[in-house]
Amino acid sequence: MVEAFPTLEALPCPAPPLEDLPAEFRTGQHLACQAAERMMFYGTLKDFELRPRLPLTQAQGDQVITLVCAHLGCFGYRHEHKVAWVGTLLDRWFKVSRGGRMESTRDQEMVDVLSEAMQAKLARARD
C-alpha cells in the first residue's frame, strides 16, 4: 500500500496558526517537540517514552498514529510548525519522557505497539 503525503485540506484537524500555540512548543524545546522532531526526521521514537495520559484502546491508538503521521508528512506548512503542533498533541495525549522502561507491563506493551506502528507508518510514507 502506498500512502501519499497529505495536503492541509486532507488533515482531519488542521493545525492552528503557529502564533496560537503555547510558546514552549513554538521554540521546539519542549520534550514532546523533541520527540515529534525525532519522528519526523528519523522515523523513530528511540530514546523517548510516551505513556498515555488516559487509557487508549487499540482503535484510539491507531487514530493517534494516523493523525500524528499525517501532520508530520504534510507538505502544507513548515517543519517548525509541524513540530510545534505535533508536540502539543503528544503532550496532550502522553506523558513524554526520555528513555527507560515502564513499571507496568501493560502500559509498556501499549507504548511499544504505538511506537512500532508509528515507526512503520512513517517508514511507509518515506518509501
pLDDT tens per residue across span 55-83: 888 888 888 888 888 888 888 889 899 99
How far is it, in rounded angstroms, from Cα 41 to Cα 115? 15
Task: State the pTM of this model.
Answer: 0.72
Per-residue pLDDT tens over the stretch 11-52? 667 888 999 999 999 999 999 999 999 888 887 777 888 888
Q: For residue 39, what is its C-alpha cell?
A: 519522528
The answer to whether the beta carbons of residues 81 and 16 sit under 8 Å apart is no
> What is the residue whose three cell numbers read 515529534?
36
Lowest mean pLDDT: which of 36-40, 71-75, 91-95, 114-118? 114-118
Separation CA 12–CA 9 (nearest Å): 8
